[in-house]
């Protein structure tokens, strides 16, 4: 497996972002800046948490955070009828970075055995995702990016409750699913609280 360099990762991100500006102007004008900030903050968040964990490479964590939503820059992000994780996965497999491909796919699924009805993406995408996930072992990089993705909203670090509340309103997810997602998110946080030996909110300066 080829290990990606930082300059290549930044180049991919910048090229993808320029393509988003050119090809998805509606998305760019409505959410482009907060999307870019989200990716950069997930990267920073992952690197900060990694600095407390000797078994996690901070550079790799930063790159994974930066590129986890890469799929959104490829397809029409205004059209929510596609699953960006799968798009990112396919793209990174194609260009030879299977570890980043895995992050693109796993970052949305704290629970691998999700029900198709839990999501509004096409069933064909979800079935393929479930099939791929069933062959993957989650490691601490997957869990780290899942957590960081849930700690960023727009231009700042937020509590899990605030982020999950946003998901509920944006994607119109049922209360039952939201409760489960929140439980899974808290579980992830306490997993990293223990690993880091501190409260992740204090580490990031999040007011809870
Ligand atoms: Fe994200």
d(Cα 88, Cα 74) in Å, to the nearest integer?
8
Examine residue 87 and state whether it is found in any structural domain, yes or no: yes
Whether residue 133 is contained in a domain is answered as yes
Ligand 1: centre distance to CA 67 (Å) = 9
Residue 190 lies in a domain: yes
- pLDDT for the residue 78: 59
C-alpha 10 – ligand 1 centre gap (Å): 17
User: How many whole angstroms from 174 Cα to the centroid of ligand 1?
Assistant: 20
Q: What is the Å distance from ligand 1's center to 97 Cα?
A: 19
- Write 29-35 long-range contacts (CB < 8 A, 24+): 30/78, 31/77, 34/154, 34/155, 35/69, 35/72, 35/77
- Residue 117 domain flag: yes
What are the tokens at 9? 């990762």
Residue 94 lies in a domain: yes
Q: What is the domain extent for residue 164?
A: 6-204
Please give the full DSSP string across 10-70, using - where no structure is assigned. Answer: HHHHHHHHHHHHHH-HHHIIIIIHHHHHHHHHHHHHHHHHHTT-TTS-HHHHHHHHHHTTG
- Note whether residue 95 is domain-resident: yes
| pLDDT tens by residue, 82-104 | 688 999 999 999 999 999 999 99
Give the Å distance between the CA of 11 and the centre of ligand 1: 19
Q: Is the pLDDT of residue 199 over 90?
A: yes
What integer is the mean pLDDT of 168-190?
Answer: 87
Residue 174 lies in a domain: yes
- Report how far ligand 1's centroid is from the alpha carbon of 135 (Å): 23
Q: What percent of the chain has pLDDT over 70?
A: 95
Query: What residues have a C-beta under 5 A from ligand 1, the ion?
Result: 69, 149
Give me the CATH number covering residue 185: 1.10.3210
Whether the per-residue pLDDT at 162 is higher than 90: the answer is: yes
**pLDDT tens profile 106-159:** 999 998 888 888 777 788 888 999 999 999 999 999 999 999 999 998 889 999
- Residue 137 alpha carbon to ligand 1 centre in Å: 20
Query: Is 1 domain-assigned?
Result: no
CA of 70 relative to ligand 1 center, distance in Å? 9
**Phi and psi of 28, rounded to 5°?**
-60, -50
Please tell me the total count of domains within the chain. 1
């Amino acid at each position: 497996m080829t290990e990606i360099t930082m300059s290549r990762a930044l180049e991919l991100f910048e090229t993808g972002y320029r393509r988003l500006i050119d090809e998805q102007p509606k998305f760019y004008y409505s959410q482009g800046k907060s999307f870019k900030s989200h990716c950069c903050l997930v990267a920073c968040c992952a690197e900060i948490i990694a600095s407390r964990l000797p078994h996690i490479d901070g550079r790799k964590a930063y790159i994974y955070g930066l590129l986890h939503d890469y799929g959104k820059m490829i397809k029409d992000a205004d059209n929510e009828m596609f699953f960006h994780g799968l798009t990112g996965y396919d793209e990174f497999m194609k260009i030879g970075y299977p570890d980043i491909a895995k992050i693109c796919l796993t970052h949305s699924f704290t629970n691998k055995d999700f029900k198709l009805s839990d999501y509004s993406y096409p069933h064909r995408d979800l079935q393929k995702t479930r099939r791929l996930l069933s062959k993957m072992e989650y490691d601490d990089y997957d869990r780290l990016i899942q957590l960081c993705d849930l700690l960023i909203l727009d231009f700042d670090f937020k509590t899990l409750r605030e982020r999950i509340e946003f998901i509920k309103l944006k994607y119109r997810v049922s209360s039952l699913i939201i409760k489960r997602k929140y439980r899974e998110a808290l579980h992830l946080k306490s997993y990293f609280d223990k690993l880091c030996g501190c409260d992740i909110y204090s580490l990031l300066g999040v007011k809870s």
